[in-house]
Protein backbone atom coordinates (compact mmCIF):
# COMPACT_ATOMS: atom_id res chain seq x y z
CA UNK A 1 0.00 0.00 0.00
CA UNK A 2 2.80 2.30 0.82
CA UNK A 3 4.55 1.64 -2.43
CA UNK A 4 1.48 2.42 -4.54
CA UNK A 5 1.05 5.76 -2.87
CA UNK A 6 4.65 6.55 -3.50
CA UNK A 7 4.40 5.71 -7.18
CA UNK A 8 1.29 7.78 -7.67
CA UNK A 9 2.99 10.63 -6.06
CA UNK A 10 5.93 10.26 -8.33
CA UNK A 11 3.64 10.19 -11.32
CA UNK A 12 2.00 13.41 -10.24
CA UNK A 13 5.33 15.12 -9.85
CA UNK A 14 6.36 14.31 -13.48
CA UNK A 15 3.27 15.78 -15.14
CA UNK A 16 4.43 19.48 -15.31
CA UNK A 17 7.77 18.46 -16.85
CA UNK A 18 6.03 16.70 -19.72
CA UNK A 19 4.14 19.92 -20.71
CA UNK A 20 7.36 21.97 -21.43
CA UNK A 21 7.84 22.60 -25.28
CA UNK A 22 11.00 21.15 -26.84
CA UNK A 23 13.80 23.62 -27.57
CA UNK A 24 14.10 24.52 -31.32
CA UNK A 25 17.64 24.59 -32.64
CA UNK A 26 18.41 27.92 -34.26
CA UNK A 27 20.73 28.07 -37.30
CA UNK A 28 24.03 29.79 -36.81
CA UNK A 29 24.43 33.18 -38.41
CA UNK A 30 27.92 34.15 -39.38
CA UNK A 31 28.78 37.78 -39.65
CA UNK A 32 31.58 39.05 -41.79
CA UNK A 33 32.89 38.70 -45.33
CA UNK A 34 33.25 35.57 -47.45
CA UNK A 35 36.26 37.15 -49.06
CA UNK A 36 38.72 34.60 -47.60
CA UNK A 37 36.72 31.61 -48.79
CA UNK A 38 36.26 33.19 -52.20
CA UNK A 39 39.97 33.67 -52.52
CA UNK A 40 40.58 30.06 -51.58
CA UNK A 41 38.05 28.90 -54.21
CA UNK A 42 39.63 31.05 -56.94
CA UNK A 43 43.09 29.82 -55.94
CA UNK A 44 41.96 26.21 -56.41
CA UNK A 45 40.66 27.13 -59.98
CA UNK A 46 37.02 26.14 -59.42
CA UNK A 47 35.49 29.30 -60.95
CA UNK A 48 36.42 28.68 -64.61
CA UNK A 49 34.22 25.83 -65.76
CA UNK A 50 31.71 25.88 -62.95
CA UNK A 51 31.13 29.66 -63.30
CA UNK A 52 30.44 29.52 -67.04
CA UNK A 53 28.22 26.45 -66.66
CA UNK A 54 26.30 28.13 -63.88
CA UNK A 55 25.84 31.32 -66.02
CA UNK A 56 24.48 29.30 -68.93
CA UNK A 57 22.18 27.33 -66.66
CA UNK A 58 20.85 30.57 -65.16
CA UNK A 59 20.19 32.14 -68.59
CA UNK A 60 18.43 28.96 -69.81
CA UNK A 61 16.33 28.83 -66.66
CA UNK A 62 15.34 32.49 -67.21
CA UNK A 63 16.79 33.61 -63.92
CA UNK A 64 19.44 35.83 -65.57
CA UNK A 65 18.47 38.43 -68.22
CA UNK A 66 21.13 39.78 -70.53
CA UNK A 67 20.06 42.95 -72.39
CA UNK A 68 21.11 44.12 -75.83
CA UNK A 69 22.54 47.41 -74.55
CA UNK A 70 19.19 49.27 -74.01
CA UNK A 71 19.19 51.39 -70.89
CA UNK A 72 16.20 52.73 -68.92
CA UNK A 73 17.10 55.97 -67.21
CA UNK A 74 15.11 56.04 -64.03
CA UNK A 75 16.16 59.57 -63.13
CA UNK A 76 14.89 61.08 -66.43
CA UNK A 77 11.50 59.39 -66.10
CA UNK A 78 11.18 60.70 -62.57
CA UNK A 79 12.18 64.23 -63.71
CA UNK A 80 9.42 64.25 -66.43
CA UNK A 81 6.77 63.38 -63.89
CA UNK A 82 8.09 66.02 -61.54
CA UNK A 83 7.93 68.60 -64.35
CA UNK A 84 4.29 67.68 -65.07
CA UNK A 85 3.38 67.99 -61.41
CA UNK A 86 5.19 71.34 -61.16
CA UNK A 87 3.43 72.59 -64.31
CA UNK A 88 0.07 71.61 -62.83
CA UNK A 89 0.90 73.45 -59.61
CA UNK A 90 1.92 76.54 -61.62
CA UNK A 91 -1.31 76.38 -63.64
CA UNK A 92 -3.39 76.21 -60.48
CA UNK A 93 -1.42 79.10 -59.05
CA UNK A 94 -2.11 81.17 -62.18
CA UNK A 95 -5.77 80.18 -62.09
CA UNK A 96 -6.09 81.51 -58.54
CA UNK A 97 -4.60 84.83 -59.63
CA UNK A 98 -6.91 85.30 -62.67
CA UNK A 99 -9.89 87.60 -62.05
CA UNK A 100 -13.02 86.33 -63.76
CA UNK A 101 -16.22 88.38 -63.96
CA UNK A 102 -19.14 87.27 -61.80
CA UNK A 103 -21.56 88.38 -64.52
CA UNK A 104 -22.70 85.18 -66.23
CA UNK A 105 -23.38 86.91 -69.55
CA UNK A 106 -19.80 88.24 -69.60
CA UNK A 107 -18.45 84.78 -68.79
CA UNK A 108 -20.42 83.33 -71.71
CA UNK A 109 -19.17 86.10 -74.00
CA UNK A 110 -15.54 85.33 -73.00
CA UNK A 111 -16.04 81.61 -73.61
CA UNK A 112 -17.56 82.35 -77.00
CA UNK A 113 -14.64 84.63 -77.85
CA UNK A 114 -12.19 81.84 -76.97
CA UNK A 115 -14.05 79.37 -79.19
CA UNK A 116 -15.30 77.28 -76.26
CA UNK A 117 -18.89 76.11 -75.68
CA UNK A 118 -20.69 78.73 -73.62
CA UNK A 119 -22.40 76.09 -71.50
CA UNK A 120 -22.17 72.37 -70.80
CA UNK A 121 -24.94 70.03 -69.79
CA UNK A 122 -25.82 70.50 -66.11
CA UNK A 123 -23.34 73.34 -65.71
CA UNK A 124 -24.22 76.26 -63.47
CA UNK A 125 -22.82 79.81 -63.43
CA UNK A 126 -20.21 78.91 -60.76
CA UNK A 127 -18.94 75.88 -62.68
CA UNK A 128 -18.91 77.89 -65.92
CA UNK A 129 -16.87 80.60 -64.25
CA UNK A 130 -14.40 78.01 -62.92
CA UNK A 131 -14.12 76.46 -66.38
CA UNK A 132 -13.30 79.83 -67.87
CA UNK A 133 -10.64 80.39 -65.21
CA UNK A 134 -9.05 77.01 -65.97
CA UNK A 135 -9.07 77.73 -69.72
CA UNK A 136 -7.48 81.14 -69.18
CA UNK A 137 -4.82 79.58 -66.94
CA UNK A 138 -3.84 77.37 -69.89
CA UNK A 139 -4.12 79.76 -72.86
CA UNK A 140 -3.31 82.91 -70.89
CA UNK A 141 -5.33 86.11 -70.43
CA UNK A 142 -3.62 87.62 -73.47
CA UNK A 143 -5.63 85.30 -75.72
CA UNK A 144 -8.84 86.94 -74.53
CA UNK A 145 -7.37 90.42 -75.05
CA UNK A 146 -6.35 89.46 -78.58
CA UNK A 147 -9.82 88.20 -79.41
CA UNK A 148 -11.34 91.41 -77.99
CA UNK A 149 -8.95 93.53 -80.05
CA UNK A 150 -9.82 91.52 -83.16
CA UNK A 151 -13.54 91.99 -82.45
CA UNK A 152 -13.04 95.74 -81.97
CA UNK A 153 -11.10 95.96 -85.21
CA UNK A 154 -13.81 94.08 -87.10
CA UNK A 155 -16.50 96.31 -85.55
CA UNK A 156 -14.55 99.44 -86.46
CA UNK A 157 -14.10 98.26 -90.01
CA UNK A 158 -17.82 97.51 -90.26
CA UNK A 159 -18.69 100.94 -88.82
CA UNK A 160 -16.30 102.61 -91.24
CA UNK A 161 -18.03 100.86 -94.09
CA UNK A 162 -21.47 101.80 -92.73
CA UNK A 163 -20.59 105.46 -92.09
CA UNK A 164 -18.59 105.81 -95.25
CA UNK A 165 -19.79 108.56 -97.56
CA UNK A 166 -20.67 107.02 -100.87
CA UNK A 167 -21.81 108.53 -104.12
CA UNK A 168 -23.79 107.20 -107.05
CA UNK A 169 -24.31 108.67 -110.45
CA UNK A 170 -27.36 110.90 -110.68
CA UNK A 171 -29.51 111.66 -113.68
CA UNK A 172 -28.56 114.38 -116.15
CA UNK A 173 -31.56 116.42 -114.95
CA UNK A 174 -29.89 116.67 -111.51
CA UNK A 175 -26.71 118.10 -113.06
CA UNK A 176 -28.80 120.64 -114.99
CA UNK A 177 -30.67 121.55 -111.79
CA UNK A 178 -27.44 121.99 -109.81
CA UNK A 179 -26.04 124.35 -112.45
CA UNK A 180 -29.31 126.25 -112.52
CA UNK A 181 -29.29 126.62 -108.71
CA UNK A 182 -25.68 127.84 -108.79
CA UNK A 183 -26.53 130.49 -111.37
CA UNK A 184 -29.62 131.47 -109.37
CA UNK A 185 -27.92 131.67 -105.96
CA UNK A 186 -24.69 133.52 -106.75
CA UNK A 187 -26.31 136.87 -107.74
CA UNK A 188 -28.62 136.66 -104.70
CA UNK A 189 -25.59 136.06 -102.44
CA UNK A 190 -23.83 139.09 -103.93
CA UNK A 191 -26.93 141.22 -103.36
CA UNK A 192 -27.23 140.02 -99.74
CA UNK A 193 -23.58 140.83 -99.03
CA UNK A 194 -23.96 144.28 -100.58
CA UNK A 195 -26.98 144.97 -98.35
CA UNK A 196 -25.00 143.79 -95.31
CA UNK A 197 -22.18 146.21 -96.17
CA UNK A 198 -24.65 149.09 -96.52
CA UNK A 199 -26.27 148.17 -93.21
CA UNK A 200 -22.85 148.18 -91.56
CA UNK A 201 -22.24 151.74 -92.77
CA UNK A 202 -25.26 152.97 -90.79
CA UNK A 203 -24.02 154.67 -87.58
CA UNK A 204 -24.10 152.40 -84.56
CA UNK A 205 -26.27 154.84 -82.60
CA UNK A 206 -28.91 154.75 -85.34
CA UNK A 207 -28.86 150.95 -85.44
CA UNK A 208 -29.12 150.76 -81.65
CA UNK A 209 -32.11 153.13 -81.55
CA UNK A 210 -33.84 151.14 -84.35
CA UNK A 211 -33.30 147.91 -82.42
CA UNK A 212 -34.67 149.46 -79.22
CA UNK A 213 -37.81 150.61 -81.05
CA UNK A 214 -38.27 147.12 -82.49
CA UNK A 215 -37.89 145.52 -79.05
CA UNK A 216 -40.39 147.99 -77.62
CA UNK A 217 -42.97 147.12 -80.26
CA UNK A 218 -42.36 143.37 -79.80
CA UNK A 219 -42.94 143.67 -76.06
CA UNK A 220 -46.32 145.24 -76.82
CA UNK A 221 -47.47 142.29 -78.99
CA UNK A 222 -51.03 141.22 -78.24
CA UNK A 223 -53.47 138.64 -79.53
CA UNK A 224 -55.90 140.58 -81.71
CA UNK A 225 -57.59 137.64 -83.44
CA UNK A 226 -58.39 134.08 -82.42
CA UNK A 227 -60.32 131.70 -84.68
CA UNK A 228 -61.49 128.11 -84.36
CA UNK A 229 -60.02 126.58 -87.49
CA UNK A 230 -61.39 123.04 -87.45
CA UNK A 231 -62.88 120.33 -85.27
CA UNK A 232 -59.48 118.60 -85.09
CA UNK A 233 -56.05 120.00 -84.06
CA UNK A 234 -54.39 122.47 -86.45
CA UNK A 235 -50.90 121.24 -87.27
CA UNK A 236 -49.44 124.01 -89.47
CA UNK A 237 -49.94 127.60 -90.57
CA UNK A 238 -48.26 129.70 -93.26
CA UNK A 239 -48.66 133.31 -94.44
CA UNK A 240 -48.97 134.14 -98.13
CA UNK A 241 -46.11 136.23 -99.60
CA UNK A 242 -48.33 139.35 -99.67
CA UNK A 243 -49.33 138.77 -95.99
CA UNK A 244 -53.06 138.92 -96.82
CA UNK A 245 -53.86 135.21 -96.48
CA UNK A 246 -53.11 132.47 -93.98
CA UNK A 247 -53.17 128.76 -94.87
CA UNK A 248 -53.84 126.20 -92.11
CA UNK A 249 -53.44 122.41 -92.17
CA UNK A 250 -55.66 120.24 -89.98
CA UNK A 251 -55.63 116.68 -88.69
CA UNK A 252 -59.06 116.24 -90.25
CA UNK A 253 -57.42 116.18 -93.70
CA UNK A 254 -58.70 119.63 -94.64
CA UNK A 255 -56.58 122.65 -95.57
CA UNK A 256 -58.13 126.09 -95.24
CA UNK A 257 -57.30 129.59 -96.48
CA UNK A 258 -58.18 132.54 -94.27
CA UNK A 259 -58.18 136.27 -94.92
CA UNK A 260 -55.83 138.41 -92.87
CA UNK A 261 -56.36 140.26 -90.57
CA UNK A 262 -60.12 139.63 -90.22
CA UNK A 263 -59.77 135.78 -90.24
CA UNK A 264 -62.64 134.98 -92.60
CA UNK A 265 -62.66 131.60 -94.34
CA UNK A 266 -61.86 131.96 -98.05
CA UNK A 267 -61.32 128.38 -99.31
CA UNK A 268 -61.48 124.85 -97.97
CA UNK A 269 -59.08 122.56 -99.84
CA UNK A 270 -60.33 118.98 -99.86
CA UNK A 271 -58.09 116.16 -101.01
CA UNK A 272 -56.25 114.55 -98.10
CA UNK A 273 -57.80 111.66 -96.19
CA UNK A 274 -55.59 111.77 -93.09
CA UNK A 275 -53.55 114.15 -90.90
CA UNK A 276 -52.06 116.96 -92.96
CA UNK A 277 -48.50 117.76 -91.86
CA UNK A 278 -47.90 121.07 -93.63
CA UNK A 279 -49.18 123.47 -96.28
CA UNK A 280 -46.98 126.20 -97.78
CA UNK A 281 -47.44 129.02 -100.28
CA UNK A 282 -45.35 129.27 -103.44
CA UNK A 283 -42.76 132.11 -103.01
CA UNK A 284 -44.40 134.09 -105.83
CA UNK A 285 -48.03 133.26 -104.99
CA UNK A 286 -50.31 136.31 -104.57
CA UNK A 287 -47.43 138.48 -105.85
CA UNK A 288 -46.76 137.61 -109.48
CA UNK A 289 -48.21 134.12 -109.91
CA UNK A 290 -51.54 133.50 -111.59
CA UNK A 291 -54.30 132.00 -109.45
CA UNK A 292 -54.70 129.09 -111.87
CA UNK A 293 -51.07 128.06 -111.45
CA UNK A 294 -49.70 125.97 -108.61
CA UNK A 295 -49.83 128.26 -105.58
CA UNK A 296 -49.65 125.86 -102.66
CA UNK A 297 -48.24 122.45 -101.73
CA UNK A 298 -49.28 120.18 -98.87
CA UNK A 299 -48.30 116.79 -97.43
CA UNK A 300 -49.97 114.20 -95.21
CA UNK A 301 -49.23 111.23 -93.00
CA UNK A 302 -50.16 108.71 -95.71
CA UNK A 303 -47.26 109.89 -97.90
CA UNK A 304 -49.39 111.96 -100.27
CA UNK A 305 -48.12 115.33 -101.56
CA UNK A 306 -50.64 117.55 -103.34
CA UNK A 307 -50.39 120.79 -105.32
CA UNK A 308 -53.16 123.40 -105.21
CA UNK A 309 -54.26 126.48 -107.12
CA UNK A 310 -56.16 129.45 -105.66
CA UNK A 311 -59.20 129.12 -107.89
CA UNK A 312 -60.10 125.51 -107.06
CA UNK A 313 -60.88 123.57 -103.91
CA UNK A 314 -59.43 120.35 -105.37
CA UNK A 315 -55.76 119.53 -105.94
CA UNK A 316 -54.21 120.41 -109.27
CA UNK A 317 -51.75 117.52 -109.15
CA UNK A 318 -50.38 114.77 -106.91
CA UNK A 319 -46.69 114.06 -106.40
CA UNK A 320 -46.29 110.30 -106.18
CA UNK A 321 -43.28 108.42 -104.88
CA UNK A 322 -43.53 108.50 -101.09
CA UNK A 323 -44.74 105.34 -99.39
CA UNK A 324 -44.53 106.46 -95.74
CA UNK A 325 -45.34 109.64 -93.82
CA UNK A 326 -44.23 112.95 -95.29
CA UNK A 327 -43.70 115.36 -92.38
CA UNK A 328 -42.96 118.67 -94.15
CA UNK A 329 -42.86 120.33 -97.56
CA UNK A 330 -40.99 123.53 -98.41
CA UNK A 331 -40.55 125.57 -101.58
CA UNK A 332 -37.13 126.51 -102.84
CA UNK A 333 -36.85 130.36 -102.97
CA UNK A 334 -36.94 130.18 -106.77
CA UNK A 335 -40.30 128.40 -106.72
CA UNK A 336 -39.04 125.87 -109.26
CA UNK A 337 -38.17 123.13 -106.77
CA UNK A 338 -40.10 121.55 -103.92
CA UNK A 339 -38.44 119.80 -100.98
CA UNK A 340 -40.16 117.03 -99.01
CA UNK A 341 -39.05 115.25 -95.84
CA UNK A 342 -40.02 111.65 -95.25
CA UNK A 343 -40.02 109.06 -92.49
CA UNK A 344 -38.04 106.68 -94.74
CA UNK A 345 -34.87 108.51 -93.54
CA UNK A 346 -34.58 110.58 -96.70
CA UNK A 347 -35.56 113.92 -98.16
CA UNK A 348 -36.35 114.60 -101.80
CA UNK A 349 -36.14 117.45 -104.25
CA UNK A 350 -38.71 117.70 -107.02
CA UNK A 351 -38.33 119.77 -110.18
CA UNK A 352 -41.85 120.99 -110.94
CA UNK A 353 -40.88 122.37 -114.36
CA UNK A 354 -39.52 119.00 -115.45
CA UNK A 355 -42.23 117.29 -113.33
CA UNK A 356 -39.84 114.71 -111.87
CA UNK A 357 -37.90 113.78 -108.77
CA UNK A 358 -34.31 114.90 -109.32
CA UNK A 359 -32.82 114.09 -105.89
CA UNK A 360 -33.48 111.36 -103.35
CA UNK A 361 -31.05 112.22 -100.56
CA UNK A 362 -30.29 109.90 -97.65
CA UNK A 363 -28.05 110.74 -94.70
CA UNK A 364 -30.15 110.54 -91.53
CA UNK A 365 -30.36 107.36 -89.45
CA UNK A 366 -34.05 107.97 -88.62
CA UNK A 367 -36.94 109.82 -90.21
CA UNK A 368 -36.37 113.35 -91.55
CA UNK A 369 -38.85 115.80 -90.02
CA UNK A 370 -38.21 119.38 -91.17
CA UNK A 371 -36.50 121.12 -94.08
CA UNK A 372 -35.54 124.74 -94.77
CA UNK A 373 -33.83 126.52 -97.68
CA UNK A 374 -31.22 129.25 -97.46
CA UNK A 375 -32.40 132.68 -98.61
CA UNK A 376 -29.93 132.54 -101.53
CA UNK A 377 -31.25 129.14 -102.62
CA UNK A 378 -27.80 127.53 -102.41
CA UNK A 379 -28.26 125.47 -99.23
CA UNK A 380 -30.84 123.19 -97.67
CA UNK A 381 -31.04 122.29 -93.99
CA UNK A 382 -32.73 119.15 -92.66
CA UNK A 383 -33.59 118.12 -89.12
CA UNK A 384 -34.15 114.48 -88.24
CA UNK A 385 -35.63 112.29 -85.56
CA UNK A 386 -32.06 111.03 -84.96
CA UNK A 387 -31.35 114.34 -83.11
CA UNK A 388 -28.97 115.48 -85.85
CA UNK A 389 -29.24 118.20 -88.44
CA UNK A 390 -27.45 118.45 -91.77
CA UNK A 391 -26.75 121.35 -94.10
CA UNK A 392 -26.54 120.37 -97.78
CA UNK A 393 -25.01 122.32 -100.66
CA UNK A 394 -27.54 121.98 -103.48
CA UNK A 395 -24.91 122.99 -106.06
CA UNK A 396 -22.54 120.10 -105.26
CA UNK A 397 -24.67 117.64 -103.32
CA UNK A 398 -22.29 117.55 -100.39
CA UNK A 399 -23.20 117.75 -96.70
CA UNK A 400 -21.20 120.82 -95.65
CA UNK A 401 -22.16 120.93 -91.95
CA UNK A 402 -23.26 118.36 -89.39
CA UNK A 403 -25.43 119.79 -86.58
CA UNK A 404 -24.60 117.62 -83.58
CA UNK A 405 -25.60 118.62 -80.07
CA UNK A 406 -29.32 118.08 -79.47
CA UNK A 407 -30.29 115.29 -77.11
CA UNK A 408 -33.60 114.49 -78.78
CA UNK A 409 -35.38 114.79 -82.12
CA UNK A 410 -35.13 117.98 -84.17
CA UNK A 411 -38.61 119.23 -85.07
CA UNK A 412 -37.78 122.62 -86.57
CA UNK A 413 -34.99 124.24 -88.59
CA UNK A 414 -34.72 127.70 -90.14
CA UNK A 415 -32.11 129.91 -91.84
CA UNK A 416 -31.62 133.54 -90.82
CA UNK A 417 -31.82 136.22 -93.54
CA UNK A 418 -28.28 137.27 -92.58
CA UNK A 419 -27.12 134.13 -94.39
CA UNK A 420 -24.97 132.53 -91.71
CA UNK A 421 -27.18 131.70 -88.70
CA UNK A 422 -29.31 128.56 -88.42
CA UNK A 423 -31.82 127.84 -85.64
CA UNK A 424 -32.99 124.35 -84.65
CA UNK A 425 -35.75 123.38 -82.21
CA UNK A 426 -35.72 120.01 -80.50
CA UNK A 427 -37.55 117.59 -78.25
CA UNK A 428 -34.96 118.36 -75.55
CA UNK A 429 -36.85 121.69 -74.94
CA UNK A 430 -33.98 123.80 -76.32
CA UNK A 431 -33.32 125.91 -79.38
CA UNK A 432 -29.76 125.95 -80.70
CA UNK A 433 -28.24 128.66 -82.89
CA UNK A 434 -25.49 127.55 -85.28
CA UNK A 435 -22.97 129.64 -87.22
CA UNK A 436 -22.20 128.50 -90.77
CA UNK A 437 -18.95 130.46 -90.81
CA UNK A 438 -17.57 128.80 -87.66
CA UNK A 439 -19.38 125.52 -88.32
CA UNK A 440 -20.41 125.12 -84.69
CA UNK A 441 -23.21 125.86 -82.22
CA UNK A 442 -22.78 129.41 -80.91
CA UNK A 443 -25.66 129.51 -78.42
CA UNK A 444 -28.17 127.19 -76.77
CA UNK A 445 -31.43 128.81 -75.70
CA UNK A 446 -33.21 126.96 -72.85
CA UNK A 447 -36.37 128.02 -74.58
CA UNK A 448 -39.34 126.06 -73.22
CA UNK A 449 -40.61 123.58 -70.69
CA UNK A 450 -41.64 121.06 -73.32
CA UNK A 451 -40.53 120.03 -76.79
CA UNK A 452 -39.99 122.82 -79.31
CA UNK A 453 -42.16 122.35 -82.40
CA UNK A 454 -41.00 125.23 -84.58
CA UNK A 455 -38.43 128.01 -85.00
CA UNK A 456 -38.61 131.02 -87.31
CA UNK A 457 -36.38 134.06 -87.90
CA UNK A 458 -37.90 137.43 -88.70
CA UNK A 459 -37.90 137.27 -92.54
CA UNK A 460 -36.52 140.73 -93.44
CA UNK A 461 -33.38 141.24 -91.34
CA UNK A 462 -33.57 138.36 -88.87
CA UNK A 463 -33.81 140.80 -85.96
CA UNK A 464 -35.66 138.35 -83.70
CA UNK A 465 -36.33 134.63 -83.37
CA UNK A 466 -39.73 133.05 -82.74
CA UNK A 467 -40.11 129.61 -81.09
CA UNK A 468 -43.21 127.58 -80.28
CA UNK A 469 -43.56 124.55 -78.03
CA UNK A 470 -45.77 121.98 -76.37
CA UNK A 471 -45.87 124.12 -73.19
CA UNK A 472 -48.77 126.05 -74.88
CA UNK A 473 -46.62 129.14 -75.50
CA UNK A 474 -44.61 130.85 -78.22
CA UNK A 475 -41.64 133.05 -77.33
CA UNK A 476 -39.70 135.84 -79.01
CA UNK A 477 -35.92 136.13 -78.55
CA UNK A 478 -33.57 138.97 -79.49
CA UNK A 479 -31.02 138.51 -82.26
CA UNK A 480 -28.19 138.82 -81.43
CA UNK A 481 -28.10 138.27 -77.68
CA UNK A 482 -30.84 135.60 -77.56
CA UNK A 483 -32.52 137.11 -74.51
CA UNK A 484 -36.31 136.69 -74.06
CA UNK A 485 -38.46 139.59 -75.25
CA UNK A 486 -42.05 138.36 -75.11
CA UNK A 487 -44.03 135.24 -74.27
CA UNK A 488 -47.15 134.74 -76.40
CA UNK A 489 -49.48 132.91 -74.02
CA UNK A 490 -53.12 132.28 -74.80
CA UNK A 491 -53.47 128.81 -76.31
CA UNK A 492 -55.10 126.13 -74.21
CA UNK A 493 -53.23 123.37 -76.02
CA UNK A 494 -49.82 122.61 -77.49
CA UNK A 495 -48.50 125.12 -80.04
CA UNK A 496 -47.98 122.99 -83.17
CA UNK A 497 -47.10 125.60 -85.80
CA UNK A 498 -46.09 129.24 -86.19
CA UNK A 499 -45.18 131.77 -88.85
CA UNK A 500 -44.18 135.41 -89.33
CA UNK A 501 -45.61 137.49 -92.18
CA UNK A 502 -43.21 138.60 -94.91
CA UNK A 503 -43.50 142.25 -93.79
CA UNK A 504 -42.68 141.24 -90.19
CA UNK A 505 -45.85 142.83 -88.78
CA UNK A 506 -47.91 139.75 -87.96
CA UNK A 507 -47.26 136.51 -86.09
CA UNK A 508 -49.52 133.46 -86.42
CA UNK A 509 -49.65 130.45 -84.08
CA UNK A 510 -51.80 127.34 -84.39
CA UNK A 511 -52.53 124.84 -81.68
CA UNK A 512 -53.80 121.46 -80.59
CA UNK A 513 -56.78 123.33 -79.12
CA UNK A 514 -58.15 123.64 -82.74
CA UNK A 515 -57.58 127.40 -82.92
CA UNK A 516 -55.10 129.71 -84.59
CA UNK A 517 -54.22 133.15 -83.26
CA UNK A 518 -52.82 136.30 -84.86
CA UNK A 519 -50.51 138.55 -82.84
CA UNK A 520 -49.78 142.19 -83.65
CA UNK A 521 -48.04 145.11 -81.94
CA UNK A 522 -50.37 147.76 -80.48
Please report, for the chain, the start and end positions of each structural domain, with discontinuous segments joined by +: 107-139, 177-521
Q: What is the pLDDT at residue 87?
A: 83
CA distance 274 to 254: 9
Is the four-CA dihedral 367, 275, 236, 184 of positive or negative sign? positive
Q: What is the pLDDT at residue 69?
A: 58
Q: Quick check: bond before 403 cis, omega within 30?
A: no
The CATH class that applies to domain 177-521 reads mainly beta
Q: What is the pLDDT at residue 396?
A: 92
Classify residue 235 by burial, with Cβ atoms within 10 Å: 0-12, 13-18, 19+: buried
* Strand segments (E) across 201-242: 221-228, 234-239
Q: Are 361 and 347 in contact (CB under 8 A)?
A: yes
Is the four-CA dihedral 175, 177, 183, 186 of positive or negative sign? negative
Q: State pTM to two decimals.
A: 0.70
Q: What is the pLDDT at residue 7?
A: 43
Question: 350 by DSSP, 3-state: which?
Answer: strand
Query: For each of the chain's 522 residues, which pLDDT tens digit applies?
Result: 444 444 444 444 444 455 555 666 666 666 656 666 666 766 776 555 556 676 677 777 767 666 555 655 656 666 778 888 888 888 888 788 788 888 888 888 888 888 888 888 888 888 888 888 888 888 877 777 777 777 777 777 666 655 565 667 778 889 999 999 999 999 999 999 999 999 999 999 999 999 999 899 989 989 888 999 989 999 999 999 999 999 999 999 999 999 988 889 999 999 999 999 999 999 998 888 888 899 999 999 999 999 999 988 999 999 998 999 999 999 999 999 999 999 999 999 999 988 899 999 998 999 999 999 999 999 999 999 999 999 999 999 999 999 999 999 999 999 999 999 999 999 999 999 999 999 999 999 998 999 999 999 999 888 999 999 999 999 999 988 899 999 999 899 999 999 999 988 999 999 999 999 999 987
∠ CA 171-174-176, nearest 5°, is 115
Q: Are 304 and 322 in contact (CB under 8 A)?
A: yes
Q: What is the pLDDT at residue 70?
A: 62
CA distance 284 to 191: 19
Question: 457 by DSSP, 3-state: which?
Answer: strand
Whole-angstrom CA distances from 41 to 29, 31, 50, 57 are 21, 19, 11, 20
Q: What is the pLDDT at residue 226?
A: 92
Strands 515-521 and 221-228: antiparallel
Q: Are 327 and 372 in contact (CB under 8 A)?
A: no
Q: Are 278 and 269 in contact (CB under 8 A)?
A: no
Summarize the chain as % helix, strand, coil (round to 5): 30, 30, 40
Q: Are 378 and 398 in contact (CB under 8 A)?
A: no
Three-state SS annotation for 382-442: EEECCCCEEEEECCCCCEEEEECCCCCCEEEEEECCCCCEEEEEECCCCEEEEECCCCEEE
Question: 519 by DSSP, 3-state: which?
Answer: strand
CA distance 186 to 171: 23
Amino acid sequence: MASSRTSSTATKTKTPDDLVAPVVKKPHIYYGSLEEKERERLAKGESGILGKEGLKAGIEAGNINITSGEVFEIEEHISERQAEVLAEFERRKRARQINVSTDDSEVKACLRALGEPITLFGEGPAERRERLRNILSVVGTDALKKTKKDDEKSKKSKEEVEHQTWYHEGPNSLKVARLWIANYSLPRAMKRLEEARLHKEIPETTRTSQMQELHKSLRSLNNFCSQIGDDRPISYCHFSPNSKMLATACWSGLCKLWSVPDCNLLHTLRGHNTNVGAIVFHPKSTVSLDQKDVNLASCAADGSVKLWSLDSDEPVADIEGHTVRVARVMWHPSGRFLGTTCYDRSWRLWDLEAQEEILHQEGHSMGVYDIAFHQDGSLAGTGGLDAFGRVWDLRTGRCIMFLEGHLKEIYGINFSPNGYHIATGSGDNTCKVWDLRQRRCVYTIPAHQNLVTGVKFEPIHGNFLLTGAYDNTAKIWTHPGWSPLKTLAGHEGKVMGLDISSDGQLIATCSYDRTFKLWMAE
